[in-house]
Amino acid sequence: MRSHIFFDFDRTLIDTDALKAEQAHRIAKITQLSVEDIHAGMRQYIDSIQNHLLFSVEGYAQFLSDLYGVSPGDVLKIYLTDCNYIADYVFPEVYEVLQTLSENNVEMGIYSTANPGHQRIKVEHSGVLKYIPWHKVVIAPNKLAPEIVAKVPNKVTLIDDDLEVLTTFQRVRPDVEVLWINRKQSMSSFSGKMIYSLRELLTSESAV
């Protein structure tokens, strides 16, 4: 069993796409807009900032307010305060795997690209901090920036769904073992190891 593992958060520990769909429904309900309006607003907001790495819930809430005349405070409630639903979207095997790894004294961390403020709330409400301490959580708008890559400890295993992240680490941090978690069973090619579920961490030292 590996001794030190850093996990990506979105689409690795939590089903981000399903979570976003839930948030859209909740925003639609509280603002009395349609879900289609919310999706359209999100697309227009992403287009307006030109880079999804610059996404912020505050900026998005204000954009919806300007677009539809809704209260930005109502939108922010879904993301920042009324968000106990987030844990429902953690992938089914995650708690079992983290519990087992913890019982086997495996050190664990999180390595995530996101707006730090909102992402910290997602991480906190996900329930994974029962197993992963805050000082092992790295969140940055661009986790491939050299100064952020340098924060990953030596000789860890990094698990991510993003092949750009993994191939970058293969090139600039060969001391880090990378594992592609291919939950969507993509046919993309990757020269490293691959798993389909985190449960494979408990059953095999050598992923595909």
- What's the pLDDT score for residue 204? 61
Q: In the chain, where are the structural domains located?
A: 4-15+90-203, 17-86
pTM of the full predicted structure? 0.94
Distance CA 172, CA 145 (A): 11
In 135-205, beta strands by DSSP E: 137-140, 157-160, 177-181, 193-195
Residues 6+ apart with CB under 8 A from 150: none
Tokens representing 137?
A: 């959580």
- What's the pLDDT score for residue 208? 53
CATH topology of domain 4-15+90-203: Rossmann fold (3.40.50)
- What's the pLDDT score for residue 193? 94
Tokens representing 49?
A: 């900032």
Tokens representing 147?
A: 């100064």
State phi, psi for 184 to the nearest 5 degrees: -90, 5
Split the chain (208 residues) into runs of 10 and give each run's mean pLDDT.
95 97 97 98 94 89 97 96 96 98 97 93 97 97 96 97 97 97 92 95 70
In the chain, beta strands by DSSP E: 4-7, 107-113, 137-140, 157-160, 177-181, 193-195
- What's the pLDDT score for residue 52? 80
- What's the pLDDT score for residue 3? 94
Distance CA 39, CA 24 (A): 7
